Structure 1
């Protein structure tokens, strides 16, 4: 593996942390690289179109993500057939419940949010398409972990460092396995304040033609808006929508 390429690409992650523009000094400080090294990698990324440099003054030079990444991102999005199929159903579900609706898939050892339909509520969640999450935090990621084939699940859980997240309610592998069994038995997943405080997330599985769970359909919102009665409505409508998306993907209900 070319470590120089890896280090250069890791610099792009710095722009995913809520910072749209960074100076050379900021990149060097956040990456822990010497300024000459950071400058060399930034120049390479700029040459590839992955970064754009703006120069306001001789002392104020900033970098931001380039359009090449948008081009590549659109190609990836086009390849995600499930996103195209699911979006109209997600829009209908959001219109009916007026809460945020997400579509989540697994990518390696993390869960990724590949689609989001926002409600028109004044208070909304701070999620975004492309967001990554640990697989044991949040209703969607947990559901995907629960429905993995046993061998894949064991392999992934063995690589999770539970102690890295003090906010998680799950601190041991034993507790995580028990929770996965509970989710799989009931057929859905619920999270309370796991990714954002005072929020609830409810997720149901999306299956393909082979009955494999390939995504999680999630509805999330503040607990102040979702009482027990509304929660039951969300569960029923999310389950129905996940089933409709699954059937559109070729799933046959037994």
Structure 2
């Protein structure tokens, strides 16, 4: 029994050792080293050249590397396929969150990722600061489509037919004295947002809250979500607005760029 157990353990360790060596070889590739040679691998692993070639041939037979005569080996098609699958597996939230975190640190205010579903807007993600007073928008929070910067950005690039249907069927409820409740006024505001590329709202959904939002576009150029800064209004006076708008615009462009890469 003991001998059998030892053999299994030894084999398991050997398999792990072989996998580790294979990963070590793959990790040798970088921008400054696109091709590696057999002796180079042997020196890196601290093994005989014949052993290094055995590892290389194993990786080549699986498509992870391919021989490039006479220099050595380069990355193979299997690596590119895995990279494609890794990008494809990333969702909007995973793509957006690093950029959201950077934006949050840059402006010092909460950052939201939102998406429109019919006549409502859903908060998908949130990055928070350490302010003692926090806003109540959390993941999964449902927001109206006619109030607040992120909602207006998402509505601004919706098809005209959908905008008409939302106005007719859902109405334009009032939340504060600043909420847009007239159809003509709303359409004019949406046209202005499309022209400027961002939306700014003060007290339209919550009396003391300012929002600055910009659209996120998918690989086909269509607006798929919005990124926004939400803050207590007094923390972002008018003179600071251009700075925050620029930061939000750059974050939206950054997320859109990442989505294009993921979809490629």
Structure 2 length as normaliser, TM-score? 0.62
One of 178, 182, 186 as aligned partner of 2:192: 182
CA distance in 1: counterparts of 2:237 and 2:182, whole angstroms: 30
Equivalent residue number for residue 255 of structure 2: 245
Matched, 1:102 2:99: no
From 134, 138, 159, give the equivalent of 2:148: 138
RMSD of equivalent CA atoms: 1.8
Distance 1:163 1:202 in 2: 21
Quote the offset at 1:94 in angstroms: 0.6
Give the drift of 1:171.
2.1
> Given the alignment of the two structures, is residue 91 of structure 1 paired with residue 101 of structure 2, yes or no?
yes
Q: CA deviation at 1:181?
A: 1.1
Gaps in structure 1 of 5+ consecutive residues: 1-78
By how many angstroms is 1:195 displaced?
2.3
CA distance in 2, matches of 1:85, 1:98: 21
Cα distance 1:80–1:178, how it changes in 2: closer, same or farther (>3 A)? farther
Distance change >3 Å, CA 167–CA 80, structure 1 → 2: farther
From 146, 162, 170, the counterpart of 2:180? 170
Once the two structures are superposed, what CA deviation does each residue of 1:90-148 show, in whole Å capped at 9, x if it has no partner? 01111111100000101122000000001111122111111111100110011101111
Aligned residues of 2:172 and 2:182 also touching (Cα < 8 A): yes
- In the alignment, the residues of structure 1 paired with residue 96 and residue 176 of structure 2 have an alpha-carbon distance, to the nearest angstrom, of 34
- Normalising by structure 1, we get a TM-score of 0.64
Shift of residue 162, structure 1, vs aligned partner: 2.0
2:174–2:181 CA contact under 8 A, matched in 1: no
SS in 1 for 2:243: helix
More helix by share: 2
Shift of 1:176: 1.2
| Cross-structure match for 1:150 | 160
Matches within 5 A, 1:1-254: 81-163=91-173, 165=175, 167-250=177-260
The number of residue pairs the alignment matches comes to 173
Where 1:112 maps in the other structure, the secondary structure is: strand
Deviation (angstroms), 1:80:
8.1
Partner Cα separation in structure 2 for residue 192 and residue 186 of structure 1: 17
Q: Displacement, 1:165?
A: 4.2
Native 8 Å contact 2:176 2:207 kept in 1: no
Following TM superposition, where does structure 1 have runs of at least 4 consecutive aligned residues deviating by more than 3 angstroms?
163-168
Partner of 2:206, secondary structure, is coil
**In the alignment, what sits opposite 1:46?**
none
